[in-house]
Chain A
Amino acid sequence: MRGISFDVAHMLAGSLVLVSFMQLYQDRLYALLNLFALHALVLATSVAWQAFIQDAPHLYLTAMIALVFKAIVIPVALHRIIVRLGIHREIETVVGVGPAMLLGMGLVALSMVVMLRVTADADPLAREDLAFALSVVLLGLLMMVTRRNAVSQVIGFMSLENGLVLAATGAKGMPLVVEISVAFSVLIAFIVIGIFLFRIRERFDTVDVGALDRFRGERR
C-alpha cells in the first residue's frame, strides 16, 4: 500500500496544513472565508481518499458532510452575515504577519517532533496523518488567539475541527460514532455562534470582541 495511495494521502494532508498557513496571514474577511471553504474542500477530498484506500464506505459520508456543510453551507451563511453586518472591509490582526508565520512554523515543527517520535511503531500513513492533524489543530488555535474579530475566531475554531476530523479518519477503523458527532458538533457550534454573532451585533454595534472586554462583570 506504500505506492501512490500513500503519496496522495500525504499530499492532501500536507495541503491542509498549507491552507491553514494561508489563513494565518489573511487580513480580509472575504479572503479568509474563501480559504476556509478551500480548507474544507481539501479535507473532504482527503477523507474521501482515506475512505477509498481503507475500503471504509462510511467515511464517504463523513466526506460528504464536510463538503456540504463546511465547504458550502457555512461559508455561504457566514458570507451573508458579513454582508449584513457591513464588516467586509474590516482588517484585523493582533500579531503582525511575520511573527504569526514564525509562530506557526514553530508549532508545526513541534507537532512533527512530538507525533513522529511517539508513534514510531504505528503504520506510516497514520503517523503522518496524525502529525499533520496536530499541526492543523495548533494552527487553528493560533488563529483564534491572533484574531479579535468574532467571525475570524469562528473560522479559526472550524479549521481546528477540520484537523480533528483528519485525525479521526487517519486512525484506521475508528467507529462512525465519532465522525458523526464531530460533524454534528460543528453544526451545533455554527448555530450557537450564528445566534451569538447576531446578538453581539445587536448589543454592541460591532463584532470586535475587544468591545466585549469593556463590559467586565466587576465594574463598581
Chain B
Amino acid sequence: MIIDALTGVLLIPALAACLLATLPGYRLTSRLNVLATFLTFATAVSLFVVEPRSGPYLLVDDLNKVFIVLTTFVSFTTSVFSASYIGHEIEIGRLKPTYVRFYHAMYQVLMFGMNLALVANNIGLMWVAIELATLTTVLMVGIYRTHEALEAAWKYFILGSVGIALALFGTILIYMAARPVIGEGLEAMVWTVLVTHAAKFDPALLNVAFVFLLLGYGTKVGLAPLHAWLPDAHAEGPTPISAVLSGLLLNVALYALLRFKMLLALNPAAIAPGPLMVTMGLISCVFAAFMLYRRRDIKRMFAYSSIEHMGIIVFAFGMGGPLANFAGLLHMTMHSLTKSAIFFAVGHIAQVKGTQKIADMGGLTVTNPVLGWGLVLGVVAIAGLPPLGIFMSEFLVVSSTFARQPVLVIILVFGILVALGGLFLRLNSIVFGEPRGPTAPAKASYVPMFAHLAIVFMAGIYMPPALVTGFQNVARLLG
C-alpha cells in the first residue's frame, strides 16, 4: 500500500497508540501525545494541497476534508490542554499514574476511530469505526472509577450500543436495497458506487433504512429524546474527553447521518429525510434550552448546551439547500471550536475550585481573572451574541430558512433565546459577585482556549474568501 496523506491520518494515531501504550512516565507521554496529534493535523492539512486518490476502502472529497481538518485541529489543541489538565489530576491523586498510560493510548485510538469513520468509503467500515470510537470513549468516561463515573459509563455504554446496533440494522438494509441493482459483494457497500446508483434503489427499503440510521446515529449525535447518555458522559469523564466528545464525536456521527441523507436525496421516490431531521433538531434545541435552567453541575450544563447546538445544526441540514447547508456547516465548525474552548476553561476552573458544583463557585473574575474572563468570552460566544462566529452562523441559519418555514424558525429562535437566558443566569453566579468556595492559583495552559476563541472572533468579523468558497462547494455537494 502506498503511504499518502489519507493513510497518514490513520497510521499516525495507530502507531502512536501502540507507542504510548508501552511508554511509562507522564511527562514524556503527554508530549508525545501532543506531537502525534500535531503530525496528524499537519497531514490532514496537506490533503488540501495534494488530494490522494480514493480507493474502494478510503475516500476523500470536499465534504470529509472539512471534517478531517476540524477533527484533527481540535484534537491537537485538546491534547495541549490535556497535558496540563492530566498533570494536575496526577498531582492531586485523582488519577493513578498507571491509568495515564492507558489514557494516552486510548486518546490516540479514539483519534484513529474518528479519522477512520471520516475517510471510510464503505458503509460497513464506517460503522465499525464509529463503534470503535464509542467503545474507547466509554472506557475513558469511566476512568475515574467513582460511583458517578461508572454510572455514566454504564449508561453511555448501554444506550450507545443500542444506538449503534440500530445503525447496523439500517446499514444492512441499505445493502439489501443496493444488492439487486449493483450486485452482490463489496461493491454494494461502497459510497462512491452507491451514490451513482441510488436513483434505482427500492425506495421503501431506503425509507426504513433511514429511520433506523436516524435513530441509531441520532443517538450518537445526542438528539432528544435519545440524548440521555450525553450529560452524564460529559460530566463524569475527564474534561479533555468532554471537549472531544462535544467538539468532535458528535460531529462524526452527524457526518455519517449526512452521508446517508445525501444517498436518500438522490432517490426521488424515497421520503425526503429533511422533515424528520428538522423535527428532531427542533425538539432537541427547545428541550435542551429549558434544561439549562435547572443545572447544578457546570459540565452538565454545557453538555445540555451541546445538545441544543446539535439541534440547531441538524435543523439547518434538515432544511437543506445551499444556503442552509452552508450555515449548518459554519455553525458546526464554530460550535466545535467554542465548546471545546469552554471545556478547556471549565476543566481548569473545576480544578481550581476542587468541585464542579455551580453553587460552590463565585467571583471567578476576581480570584482567577484570566480563567473567569475566558469563560465569559466563551459563553458570550456560545450564546450567539454578536460579533462572534456563532452569531454569524445562527443568523445565517435563521435568515436562510425564514422565507421557507417562518413558523419553524420562530420555534428555533425561541429555543435560542431561552438558552441564552439560561446560560447567562448561571454564568452570572459563576464568574461575578462575591468569591465563594475554596480557590487555588491556576496552573493552566491558556493558549488552546484563547486560540479557539480568537478564531471564533475572527470568523465573526471576517471570513477568508478561500474558506467561503470551500464551504460553498461542500454545501452544494450536500444538496
Q: Which residues of A contact B (CB under 8 A)?
A: 114-115, 117-122, 126, 130, 133-134, 137, 141, 144, 150, 153, 157, 160-161, 164, 167-168, 171-175, 177-178, 181-182, 185, 188-189, 192-193, 196, 199-200, 203-204, 209, 212-213, 215-218, 220
Judge whether A171 and B175 touch: CB under 8 Å: yes
Judge whether A217 and B176 touch: CB under 8 Å: no
> A157 contacts which chain B residues (CB < 8 A)?
158, 161-162, 165
Judge whether B297 and A181 touch: CB under 8 Å: no
Q: How far is the CA of A167 from the CA of B232 in the complex (A)?
A: 33
Report, nearest first, the 3 A-B pairs whose CB atoms are least far apart: A173-B184, A118-B204, A215-B147
Interface size on B, residues (CB 8 A): 54
Asked if A175 meets B162 with Cβ closer than 8 Å, knowing A196-B157, A212-B154, the reply is no
Q: Which residues of B contact A (CB under 8 A)?
A: 122, 124-125, 127-128, 131, 135, 138-139, 142, 145, 147-148, 150-154, 157-158, 161-162, 164-166, 168-169, 171-173, 175-176, 179-180, 184-186, 188-189, 202, 204-205, 207-208, 231-232, 235-236, 295-297, 300, 357, 359
Min C-beta distance of B324 to chain A, whole Å: 30
Judge whether B158 and A174 touch: CB under 8 Å: no
Q: In the complex, what residue of chain A is closest to B158 when comparing beta carbons?
A: A153
Judge whether A161 and B165 touch: CB under 8 Å: yes
- Most B CB contacts (10 A, CB to CB) among A134, A185, A209, A220 go to A185
Contact of B127 among A126, A181, A193 (CB under 8 A): A181
> B125 contacts which chain A residues (CB < 8 A)?
177
At the interface, is chain B mostly helix, strand, loop or mixed? helix
Min C-beta distance of A103 to chain B, whole Å: 17
Q: In the complex, what residue of chain A is closest to B183 when comparing beta carbons?
A: A173
Judge whether B124 and A199 touch: CB under 8 Å: no
Judge whether A199 and B150 touch: CB under 8 Å: yes
> B145 contacts which chain A residues (CB < 8 A)?
199, 203
Min C-beta distance of A203 to chain B, whole Å: 6
Min C-beta distance of A120 to chain B, whole Å: 8
- Most B CB contacts (10 A, CB to CB) among A117, A134, A178, A213 go to A178
- Most A CB contacts (10 A, CB to CB) among B168, B173, B185, B236 go to B168
Asked if A203 meets B131 with Cβ closer than 8 Å, knowing A114-B208, A175-B189, A217-B235, the reply is no
Min C-beta distance of A171 to chain B, whole Å: 5
Asked if A196 meets B131 with Cβ closer than 8 Å, knowing A174-B175, A217-B148, the reply is no
